[in-house]
Chain A
């Protein structure tokens, strides 16, 4: 085994400040310019007739020419998303404060929030649209999309307060409220902002999914229009708009967070990148027995809450179906067998689609992280681009990938894979970086090759991060799969939703929502169990 030049480059990046000739942002800007120019040239020459690439200048021109049209639609979505963002986050923050002041409510509240996170909003959308006024339904979908991440981020943040400072407050006579106000709240801000940053694109997605189901204007309308026409320049223009709208919120809140919490700059970033990944302490870290109990609580909360909601809200029973109706539909009705074929046949297709994309994204993200850790110089240039790409929503990737790859399984797989690719990559890189510098140096002194260090130290360090990424990617992958099925391919659960909407058969819609939620929560729970096994071996300190 001999040391390669990369070995020393890697360690010096770890240890000594690097002597940079150009700042990182210049490299990134150069790379972006190069990319756009190459794109322009390709689109206008070699691939001019491929219908896949639109030249950046053409896209810009279309956006400019039809500016008022685009603006009207984007504004509609923005208004909905902003309302949903504020309502959803206000609820989430209030719940988090409640959990910290009254720990007894934690279990059921988290179960409810996890259930909401697991409900694919695309399955909920047609139901909410008939139960509520159309605009309210879209706001509700948007609000539901942000509750879970913000609740988790805020709770973790409130709990991250320095215990010694809290002890000092205690000795000085501070009660729970004054501790909350003076210490916990401020300590929670970095984590809260990390959560809000993730919530911004989620709110836009929630609003847009509502618009898919039928709205006069909005981003969702633009996307369905672009997908119907598959006019190259239009698809690209809409994708750019979707990215700007949801990425804009992400960037804006990141900026605001940095302004309001300047002290974070020097702090070790643990879960600031993706607070949901840190959820392993909340959910992954449970004992198996407690996990079963949690499962029971989850089911009770979901079905109890659902039945109670139908009962108390006094809703029209034609639209509002309870657990009993769904049970009858799937089990006891005369044509239950046919119903099961529709629902579970669709589920099989959806799970295959979601599973393929999920595994591809997870593997791809992990591989990319390995490449970047092995080649830090590459990482420095590409990482900012990757972080930008990360905020490109499924709303933009779906039409683009369909344009490039057609309505194929490959396209579906790619679209879903992208959902988990970037978060996985970033989490895994952070996980690999957790490897102690001293440990890497000991291994180097023992003449370990770069691969040995990777295999024996860095990758095992990243295993918890891989598991956490997998766990949070499950509901996203299922949601992505159903969105694509509903919007584009017309198969699986997407097909079941379409048929329910078409036949005004609301039992179908409730069944789809219930089955998908259960499957999603079940997969989440299974991965949490596997994650626990991994943590027990590779990061026992996180299980305390």
Chain B
């Protein structure tokens, strides 16, 4: 336990910032010790999209019906037109409209 009085809070914030910075730099740093081969490269490339999907799963599960419709609209528009800004705007609009009615 650290008391937040007399500079304790600043110390806590500094420690949080340090841990977060290590996660930002650590991925590239750790990979520099891994010899690159076809399997490692295949792993990294497949992991890239999977990180996004894994971040999205609880978002989609926790969302209300309006939120899920928003994600669906974004997905459909992306598959049709491949225009991210259009697809995102449509998704947000859907969520806002469905929640308003």
Do A and B come together as binding partners? Answer: no
